[in-house]
Structure 1
Amino acid sequence: MKYDRNLVQFIWLAFGLVVLFSSCVQQEPEPQRPNILFIMSDDHAYQAISAYSDRLIETPNIDRLADQGMLFTNACVTNSICAPSRATILTGKHTHINGKIDNNFPFDTTNVTFPQLFHQAGYQTAMFGKLHFGNSPKGFDEFMILPDQGDYYNPEFITNKGDTTIMGYVTDIITDLTLKWLKKDRKADQPFLLMYLHKAPHREWIPAPRHYKEFTKRTFPEPETLFDDYSGRGTAAHTAEMNLLKHMTVSADNKIYPEVADELGIKEPSEWGKHVFRQKYARLKPEQKAQWDSVYGPINEQFKQNYPAMNDSDFMRWKYQRYMQDYLGCIAAVDENVGRVLDYLKESGLDKNTIVVYTSDQGFYLGEHGWFDKRFIYDESFKTPLLVRWPEHIAPGSRSDEMVQNLDFAQTFLDAAGIEAPADMQGESLMPLLTGHPEQWTRDAVYYQYYEYPGFHMVKRHYGIVTKEYKLVHFYYDVDEWELYDRKNDPFELKNVYDDPAYASVQKELHQKLDELRRYYKDSDELDQFYIEKYKEKGLIK
């Protein structure tokens, strides 16, 4: 048989090109799935992060995420209370859908959470810190979580290997656990999802010694609305029980020893404050008590001398300063420890392909309107800090004022990791905003609903719609009142303009949009009544 030399050469050349091309294709690395570090504190007001405002405190480490990534100025929650917020984050569903409407009702464990999906997709997963509901979070290779609210000093932890108690300060300990996992337990050949969840600065705002020694010497500026009389609003603002003067305890909250309060004849809102103070103080070891007494003892002595001459305004101002000293002292520890974790990411090179998120489970009142706590749809409670960094994907120093919610976190993370989101999730991926394509973002309003009434702080049930410009709210159950606020011209939300003829067209348009949102998110008057009946079944209301 004769061979055509030219044909043979052509065949070998073609074969070589195919092999070469195939080799090039095989050597092209697959896109590397990003690691995700989700950092969440508890009740951290955006007003107490210097990337938002340096009026109260400097937070240089949290600010790094704003400098190197994106800061959201209109991030908010769907339900401003701890456990429901966390359930929304994990499920990507409103609380009326996932069933965790308040801190009383149990979490429905048949819900699929985004960590489960990450685990199924080959991610190594871990959670350290405060979950606040359930003792066995699904989808985690490892977890160490505080039972319920947990303790600031010498906290107990629930783990998938048994319970344990660790001596020290909770913010430092949660960070130690997180860093240990990153350094020793993380598998280099797997991407990771790590949830790093702080208890601080949740009530009763107990700082570490290094910070209460410093912060108890500071004086902080008062908010403009500290002495708000709520004259421009309805029943809900007047009847809420979160006023610094009337409802903040001097014992648990302001660290006045119960015997000193008794000696001065101070009538506490309830015995709860004295009970909690004694309980938390009893957890301290002798050395910790000595440190505590060396700082808070003189504060008590000074208070004994000054209290008899105080009028209500003086007492309100004194409570505000004590509140800020301890609350912001807790923040200082959070910021320091966030810095420790960010430093390790940089040292190890993990920062290059790790999405880092810092947020809180909701906002918090820092004396605005004379209040502490949260629960309302009003801005200080409803808005939450949100800072996101992802090198080479998010432009450093960028900002967004779009209406985004904790409802969106699950779908954002799944989108970034290339994992398909379940069809029943209700959020929207933030990836277009994060990666410089805001024109692809279509949402112009968010939906909010609060259920826990009657309950702590007695904030009435309400739902509403919020846009960049306006806020329409319906308070219901034992009242039937509507409120409308002009967010641009009345940023402190002092004047309800619902019945103002100048806003008639705005009111009409927002009512229509609110009806549309309630249908879109599968909420209704019937569902509101369903949950009221559930409260009756539990004996929480008559």
Structure 2
Amino acid sequence: MTNNTLLTISLSFIAIVLSGLTKTQAGDNASTALAHTNKPNIIFYLADDQDVYDYGVYGNEKVHTPAIDQLANQGMLFENAFTAQAICAPSRTQLFTGKYPLKNGAFANHTPTRPNIKSVTKHMRALGYDVVLAGKSHVKPANIYDWDHEWQPIPKAGVPRDYIPLADIETYFKTVNKPFVMFITSKYPHGKYFDVKNPNPEDLKFHPYDEHLKHNETYVKKKAGYYRSIEEDNTQLEHVLALVDTHLTDNTLFIYSADHGVSGKFGVKDIGLKVPFIVRWPNVIKPNSRSEQLIHYTDVLPTFIDIAGGNADQSMDGKSFLTLLNGADKAIHQYVYGVRTNQNIINAHIFPSRMIRSKRYKYIRNFNALEVLDKNLGDKPNINAFLRLGAMQHPNEPFEALYDLESDPFEQHNLIAVPELTNIKNRLQKQLFTWMSEQGDFLTEGFGNIPVITAPAFKLDQNNPPRRTSVDKALENTLKPQDYLLIEHWQESMP
């Protein structure tokens, strides 16, 4: 056998080995890709400050929301989805942590999540997911919300708010090679609104809470601008859905929601806490389906973890609603809860509230209502002055309220004094205080223990023009450090 023959045989053998290795490697890559397809991509589109009643698919025929309406036709619409707080940051932190605002620490706007909290980034990353934020953030600190990719909103000419970063989203869809969770967070329809010339009130839909403003020119103009901003957000959503349908597979779970209602902002009525919630997942969710089960923003992260094949942290308040997406009409919660703090926000004043809601009934306690103000006053005149001011800002809000939401969905008729409903009131009240205790709430059932809350960037007795808060000159700088419950200290003391 010649040397040339030996060389030829050797080279052929090497080629066969390399070919086998290449096929094996290709097979491994194919298996990996197949494994990825078993874990769906997850996209959560979040609008900003939009009432649940202002969508075509939720019954408003005068607002233009064709993209959301079509999404509902393709998936499942939830009739009873809730956030616990009608403010931006507290609402978003629930989505990202699976915990109510009192437990995660961000119950006052512009304040950080507690330092020992594990967010969606770490939970989903551990399950093989990229975790992305595209748009408005409004949550902190960065070491808790450590996104794998984060793209800021993009300025756009001729519109009042920045746009979501569509180019970054499209590039990512084209190039991503692993499952991902992406939160697309719009700045619409949050004000500043469009300037609509000569608006006609007949083009708008009014509800029991704003029917009396139908002929108020200033209100009508603002509402018309709000409707126009809703249309602009619908346009953004149309762009996003086109990108999803072009670049991603059917194994993509798409959720649309809005962080809270603008008409009930800061409060605990459904107009603030009830949110739109629509889910599309081709070949899994039955098109044009609806669910009346109670779900909550704290349920979102546990559901994502469940879908990804993991187990939710037992410290989370939420529960997975994957069974509902799979078609089983099974209760997730008997009750959902809501909180309110009017400190550290616009027009700050001391008026904390808590609520508990079943499918039919809601119980609210306003801890510093005018009718119980005297019971809350203590031996410190400087604190009493702010307690009194807070109560007087809400003279028509009762200490306790009970609503039958089947007959009174807009919560216009307080049934707290109806004898036949006493047992229902007592049951809800007891459960509310049990929940508050489990949350480590600083409020209790008794009187005289309402704290004055503060954070480093905010003091109740000081003017704060950036946050549009003001205080009477006679009350400026009258509170001492020992008079405050410092938010950071409260966060650190929680279990």
TM-score (norm 2): 0.73
CA deviations over 1:349-370 (Å, ceiling 9, x no partner): x2501110101111221xxxxx
Distance 1:527 1:226, change over 3 A: closer
Select the structure with the greater relative contact order (CA < 8 A; seq sep ≥ 6). Answer: 1
CA distance in 2, matches of 1:477, 1:213: 42
CA deviations over 1:26-51 (Å, ceiling 9, x no partner): 98954610101110011011112111
Q: State the 1:90 CA deviation.
A: 0.8
Q: Percent identity?
A: 27
Distance 1:496 1:457, change over 3 A: farther
**1:473 aligns with one of 342, 351, 364:** 364
CA distance in 2, matches of 1:392, 1:125: 24
Q: State the 1:465 CA deviation.
A: 0.6
Please state if 1:486 is matched with 2:404.
yes
**2:253 aligns with one of 341, 347, 355:** 355
The aligned runs of 1:410-429 (5 Å cut-off) are 410-429=301-320
Please state if 1:95 is matched with 2:95.
no
CA distance in 2, matches of 1:386, 1:449: 20
CA distance in 2, matches of 1:216, 1:433: 41
* Residues 375, 382 of structure 1: 8 Å contact kept: no
**2:224 aligns with one of 325, 350, 369:** 325
CA distance in 1, matches of 2:89, 2:69: 26
Q: State the 1:421 CA deviation.
A: 2.1
CA distance in 2, matches of 1:351, 1:79: 35
Please state if 1:497 is matched with 2:415.
yes
Please state if 1:447 is matched with 2:365.
no
* Residues 42, 361 of structure 1: 8 Å contact kept: yes
Distance 1:412 1:203, change over 3 A: same
Q: State the 1:111 CA deviation.
A: 1.9
- What is the aligned partner in structure 1 of residue 294 from structure 2? 403
Distance 1:335 1:175, change over 3 A: farther
CA distance in 1, matches of 2:84, 2:76: 21
- What is the aligned partner in structure 1 of residue 451 from structure 2? 532
Q: State the 1:408 CA deviation.
A: 0.9
* Residues 117, 139 of structure 1: 8 Å contact kept: no
What is the SS of the residue equivalent to 1:525? Answer: coil
Deviates more, 1:380-389 or 1:527-536: 527-536
The aligned runs of 1:204-283 (5 Å cut-off) are 204-206=192-194, 212=196, 219-226=203-210
Amino acid at match of 1:540: L
What is the SS of the residue equivalent to 2:409? Answer: coil
CA distance in 1, matches of 2:170, 2:185: 15
Amino acid at match of 2:275: T
Distance 1:379 1:416, change over 3 A: same
- What is the aligned partner in structure 1 of residue 151 from structure 2? 144
What is the SS of the residue equivalent to 1:46? Answer: coil
- What is the aligned partner in structure 1 of residue 189 from structure 2? 201
Please state if 1:173 is matched with 2:163.
yes
**1:340 aligns with one of 212, 224, 239:** 239
Q: Which runs of 5+ in 1 are unaligned?
A: 1-22, 147-153, 156-165, 229-243, 245-312, 366-372
CA deviations over 1:97-123 (Å, ceiling 9, x no partner): 111111143333442111222223322
CA distance in 2, matches of 1:458, 1:503: 34
What is the SS of the residue equivalent to 1:127? Answer: strand
* Residues 80, 293 of structure 2: 8 Å contact kept: yes
- What is the aligned partner in structure 2 of residue 42 from structure 1? 48
CA distance in 2, matches of 1:464, 1:524: 15
Q: State the 1:144 CA deviation.
A: 1.9
CA distance in 1, matches of 2:411, 2:450: 29
* Residues 46, 383 of structure 1: 8 Å contact kept: yes
What is the SS of the residue equivalent to 1:182? Answer: helix
CA distance in 2, matches of 1:55, 1:179: 31
* Residues 172, 337 of structure 1: 8 Å contact kept: no
Amino acid at match of 1:377: V
CA distance in 2, matches of 1:387, 1:534: 36
RMSD, aligned CA: 3.1
Distance 1:215 1:393, change over 3 A: farther
Q: State the 1:216 CA deviation.
A: 7.9
Distance 1:218 1:145, change over 3 A: farther
Amino acid at match of 1:353: N
CA deviations over 1:211-255 (Å, ceiling 9, x no partner): x57978983243344256xxxxxxxxxxxxxxx7xxxxxxxxxxx
TM-score (norm 1): 0.67
**Structure with more helix by fraction:** 1
Q: Which runs of 5+ in 2 are unaligned?
A: 1-26, 373-398, 462-478, 480-495
